[in-house]
Amino acid sequence: MTEAIARIERHANIAVLLINAPPVNALGQAVRAELQATVELLHKDAGLDALVIACEGRTFFAGADIREFDRPPQAPLLPGLINAIEASSKPVIAAIHGTALGGGLEVALGCHLRIAAQSAKMGLPEVKLGLLPGAGGTQRLPRLVGLKKALDMMVSGEPIGAAEAQELGLVDRVVEDQGLIDAAIALARDAVAGRISPRKTRDRALQAPEAGFFAAYRKDNARKFGRLDAPQAIVKVVERSLSASFDDATAFERAQFDILRSSAQSKALRYAFFAERDVKNVPGIDVKTPVVPVENIGIIGAGTMGTGIAVNFLLAGLPVTLLEMNEAALTRGAETIRKIIQRNVESGRTSRTSADQALGLLHPTLAFNDLASADLVIEAAFETLDVKQDIFTRLDAIAKPGAILATNTSYLDVDKIASFTARPEHVLGLHFFSPANVMKLLEVVRGAKTSGPVLATALKLAARIGKIPVVSGVCYGFIGNRMLAARRVALDKSVLEGASPYAIDRVAEEFGFAMGPFRVSDLAGLDLGWSKETSTGATMKERLCEMDRRGQKTKAGYYDYDDKMKPSASPLVEQTIKDLAAARGIPQRAWIDAELLDLLLTPMIAEGRKILAEGIALRASDIDVVWLHGYGWPRWRGGPMYYGEKHPV
Ligand code: T1G
């Protein structure tokens, strides 16, 4: 028997509606029906003078039920329901805790008074789904917090805290988390007694901005809006509210919402939302799977990856023993960690106190045996199998029983690495993406013998450090890098056949990538894995490295870079391509943009299908999450597999 999703408590003449629709009290049809019934009850029951709307569980309504958007709308519809709340002659109070988002905040905006727990957050994140607030939010929020602040909140989708909300006039009172319902009842009594005036938000004045505001707003945000439709629509709807009645403006809002809801961008963004949440569904792993307690971390290697990885754990409050082979490397690594955390403080991402606490948890060491007490050791050393063999053989000898031994390898065979130990069930890959303290993606590479509890522990730990874990099987390059390698082969071949690297980058950036593949190569460095001694000039990468054009680091790679690192096409590179093609007898031809786009996408999508067929990835949407969070795939295009389904290649 499913628990009732609604109950009403009567406190003399005050009714308290408590919705309980886990996990986030989404405003699905059943919840909306309960809200409607309660508003009707308030209207009919002469013994009731006010209503408090609240939710049980972890949050006030976290928005409309996103899953409903792919189905025909079902009555009661949210806009009409909110209008009915607002039209009530008896005060309706919203008691907000957790995250009042989207339609959830719009319900609160339709109430006559709002009270929030001090830890509550509230926002209109519809833009992240390619939508706009479609239940009056574009009209009511500006009337409470001012037009500019409302626009900023809606086009960013970012929530604000209760204190700021109170300052802005979005909420009327802020109370201790524990006392929210009692305080809401007291507020209702104050409203009934006339000690505070309940107001219809729609009746509040909308302050017109200065002349030219909207043109300037569009211009200032053009880069941020990019190709996205929703932010532009939000500005358009808010602009309309200055020259239309409330009802006409909300009708226009709804019309724009309907257009966005059926748009390709919104469908892709909603797909991405659920894809990111689906990654945790791993066959054989569930809430009953035991997990290994992890309270302290060992990291081997204090280079770029090791230090970035360490920062994640330190900021999550986990002590890190950082091992290097020599004092100079260790000192450099510790300094890098300090700098990264300092940058976090300067950007406001981390408080000074948290930064000091994090740095206090770092234990640099040259003694391998200091790793013996770690619950999890992550190896982030040189990317060669013999280095891994040496490290894992030594680790196996000293690590405590039950410790998890992970490798951060980007390509190498995790099963082979596990075979260097007598505990392969405790070995797996934790493939972080550089910069490891920033990128959210974590490929969790499950070896043939990796146990369920060890995998479950990795998934749980990923969430603890704010990563999105995608489980991968063992193959060369796992999911992301294997698809990247397939694309790279196709691109390098086509460049010798006349496809311009600069045109390829342009097409990639027009498609929505922040940076084309050749600019990314220059950024990463063309000399990764290259050595002067063995170089034979057989590929463009080798030729460029031989010319000391190793990428941005030498201010020359595929591109020339000026002092501000502005890239420009290089005639020398173009000539080098022609010379190499001629030397290899490869005829050159002209390429059209459509062919270049096909080149960028088809090989990697084909490789993704193989990865799926081989069971390396659990589902196509996992592959898309890898590309969304590891390689900058434009989110409003869903992901390579999603795109391939929509545009059969
Ligand atoms: N609809 C349906 N399911 C939702 C949902 C929603 N709005 N929000 C979360 N879920 C599911 C999610 O898929 C997951 O399911 C579980 O809840 C826990 O989520 C008319 C049009 C609230 C901050 O955009 O931001 O209102 O995987 O893992 O990390 O104008 O969920 O467990 O089966 O994210 O603690 C606007 C979206 C909708 C908020 C909680 N609202 N949600 O984060 O948990 S559009 C949003 C979130 C709208 C109106 C418009 C987060 C969260 P499962 P989770 P979390």
Q: How confident is the model at residue 363 (pLDDT cuts 50, 70, 90)?
A: very high
Length of the chain: 649
Q: By percentage, how much of the chain surpasses pLDDT 90?
A: 95
Find the 254 Cα to ligand 1 centroid distance in Å: 21
Q: Using CA atoms, how far apart are residues 335 and 411, in angstroms rounded to an integer?
A: 28
Ligand 1 atom with minimal separation from the 281 CA: 27
Domains and CATH numbers, the chain: 6-262 (3.90.226.10), 297-476 (3.40.50.720), 481-596 (1.10.1040.50)
Please report which helix (H) or strand (E) contains residue 15, including its range: strand 14-19
Dihedral, 15, 20, 25, 26 alpha carbons, nearest 10: -90
Q: How far apart are CA 424 and CA 455, in angstroms?
A: 12
Q: What is the mean pLDDT of residues 310-330?
A: 97
Residue type, 271: Y
Taking residues 232-241, what's their average pLDDT?
Answer: 97
Q: How far apart (Å, rounded) are the C-alpha atoms in residues 50 and 55?
A: 17
Q: Characterize 554-590 residue by residue with b for buried, 16 or more Cβ atoms within 10 angstroms of its Cβ, and e for exposed.
A: bbbbbbbbeeeeebeebeebeebbeebbeeeeeeeee
Q: What pLDDT shows up at residue 366?
A: 97
Q: Is the peptide bond before 76 cis (omega within 30 degrees of 0)?
A: yes
For residue 471, what pLDDT is reported? Answer: 98
Residue range 274-289: mean pLDDT, rounded: 94
Radius of gyration of the chain (CA): 28
* CA 642/CA 380 separation, integer angstroms: 32
Measured CA to CA, the distance from residue 396 to residue 372 in angstroms comes to: 10
49 CA to centre of ligand 1 in angstroms: 33
Q: Give the closest residue (by CA) to ligand 1 atom 38.
A: 63
The residues carrying an active-site annotation are: 106, 126
Average pLDDT, the chain: 96
pLDDT band for position 649 (50/70/90)? low
CA 277–ligand 1 middle distance (angstroms): 10
Tell me what percent of the residues of the chain surpass a pLDDT of 70.
100
β-bridge pairing 567-569 and 113-117: unpaired
SS3 96: strand
Ligand 1 neighbours, Cβ below 6 Å, are 23-24, 26, 62-67, 78, 99, 101-103, 106, 125-126, 129, 131, 133-135, 137, 274, 277
pLDDT, position 4: 87
| Cis status, amide bond into 133, omega within 30 of 0 | no
pLDDT level of residue 217 (50, 70, 90 thresholds) = very high
Terminal C-alpha separation, the chain:
47
What's the pLDDT score for residue 2? 55
Provide the token pair at 69: 């958007």
- Contact by Cβ (8 Å): 468, 629: yes
Beta bridge mates, 299: 322, 378
pLDDT at 403 over 60: yes
Confirm if 16 and 181 have CB atoms less than 8 A apart: yes
**Model confidence band, residue 49 (pLDDT cutoffs 50, 70, 90):** very high
Q: Is the pLDDT assigned to residue 608 strictly greater than 90?
A: yes
Please work out, in degrees rounded to the nearest 5, the angle formed at the alpha carbon of residue 381 by the alpha carbons of 379 and 387: 100
Q: Per mean pLDDT, which range of 11-15, 70-74, 469-473, 625-629 is the poorest?
A: 70-74
Amino acid at 406: A
According to the model, what pLDDT value does residue 571 have?
96
Q: How far is the CA of 275 from the centre of ligand 1 (A)?
A: 12
CA-CA distances (angstroms) from residue 377 to 368, 425, 426, 453? 11, 14, 11, 16
